Amino acid sequence: MEFLESILVTPFIEIWESPYYFIELVLVGLSTGVLYSLVALGFVLIFKASGMFNFAQGAMVLFAALTLVGLMEHGLPLWAALILSVATMVGLAFLVERFMLRHLVNQEGLILFMATIGLNFILEGTGQLMWGSDVKRLEIGIPDQPFDILGGKILLNTFDVTAAVIGALLVISLAVFFQKTPMGRALRAVADDHQAALSVGIPLKTIWIAVWTIAGIVALVAGIVWGAKSGVQFSLSLIALKALPVLILGGFTSVPGAIVGGLIIGVGEKVAEGFWGPALGGAIENWFAYMLALAFLVFRPQGLFGEKIIERV
């Protein structure tokens, strides 16, 4: 009885009695959720354009961050290393289209998925071969120090807030790109129907290169932020696992879903850890997202913004 009370009653009493702490957790969760959304967007973009679940998205985050920090270690300034890293991800998009996608047109989803698993190992191996496997420190000039608001009642971190702003600007830019530009409309047309897009003259080759380029740039930004926060190391590729619950919540085909899903996961795990963690032994952040995703799979498998699949037999 006491255990149930500590789970069902006590946390809500604490939230009522500690509103500023609750607001602080929500703000920290939002900043983390934006970063989750960035990684999830890479998955959504590629899945919408080619029907391919890109298992290599986490490796792309790692590879992009390794390239940037490796170039900086060789004496290049940040701006030059950033330009070359973007060029590298663009080159990767061309290589993926030429040597993988072009040969897998109209193949089964499982074959496409296995191809991205192979790409994952190629990127990880290439990154290790080029830049080594040691943990690398990435300095991008953003201060990592706390600051308070409301007279010290809410404490935030400068780096987290700056990273959230950068992520939000990128997300907004992508939204505008998809809605307002000819290339964005072409991408949405391909996502809706490949054959119809081909019939009106939209070249799939160009679309695939554009999508993988955008996904690569998104991976680079995510790699910079996470790498500057915790160091550029091979565990960075596991960040893709955090994006899976985001995709399940938002829907694999929805850009707004990736954004909303990331924010829900970010806020949910921080608030759960802060108020339910003591009753459940802590470390809720490690499994909260997956339990929430499991609940969605049971009750709404298509996600909040995904299209409901109706099969006629």
What phi, psi does 141 have (nearest 5°)?
A: 85, 10
Q: What letter does residue 267 receive in the DSSP assignment?
A: H
Question: 307 in helix, strand or coil?
Answer: coil
Residue % of the chain over a pLDDT of 90: 6
Whether 154 and 26 have beta carbons less than 8 Å apart is answered as no
Q: Which two tokens stand for residue 9?
A: 């009653």
Question: What percent of the residues of the chain are helix, what percent strand, and what percent coil, each to the nearest 5?
Answer: 75, 5, 20
- Please give the Cα distance from 206 to 145 (Å, whole number): 43
Determine the average pLDDT of the residues in 96-115: 80
Per-residue pLDDT band at 165 (split at 50, 70, 90) = confident
Residue 84 has pLDDT above 90, yes or no: yes
Whole-number pLDDT of residue 88: 93
Average pLDDT, the chain: 80
184-194 pLDDT tens trace:
777 766 666 66
- Please give the Cα distance from 83 to 89 (Å, whole number): 10
Determine the average pLDDT of the residues in 199-211: 75
Q: What letter does residue 308 receive in the DSSP assignment?
A: P
46-50, 195-199, 237-241, 280-284: segment of lowest average pLDDT = 195-199
Whole-number pLDDT of residue 168: 82
Q: How many CB atoms lie within 10 A of CB 229?
A: 15
Question: 42 in helix, strand or coil?
Answer: helix
> By C-alpha distance, which of 208, 192, 210 is closest to 200?
192
Whether 59 and 120 have beta carbons less than 8 Å apart is answered as yes
Whole-number pLDDT of residue 290: 87
Tell me the β-bridge partners of 157.
146
Cβ-based neighbours of 101, under 8 Å, separated by 6 or more: 50, 208
Output the CA–CA distances (angstroms, integers) from residue 92 to 69, 155, 208, in the order listed: 18, 41, 12
Whole-number pLDDT of residue 192: 60
Q: Which two tokens stand for residue 76?
A: 């290049």
β-strands 154-157, 146-149 pairing: antiparallel
Whether 305 and 260 have beta carbons less than 8 Å apart is answered as yes
1-15, 71-85, 93-107, 226-240: segment of lowest average pLDDT = 1-15
Question: 202 in helix, strand or coil?
Answer: coil
1-12 pLDDT tens trace:
555 556 666 666
- Please give the Cα distance from 21 to 34 (Å, whole number): 20
Q: Based on DSSP, count helices (H) and strands (E) in the chain, helices before strands.
A: 14, 2
Determine the average pLDDT of the residues in 65-94: 90
To the nearest 10 degrees (0 to 180), the angle between helices 288-299 and 239-250 is: 30
User: Dihedral of CA 121/191/306/272: which sign?
Assistant: positive
What phi, psi does 154 have (nearest 5°)?
A: -125, 125
Whole-number pLDDT of residue 193: 61
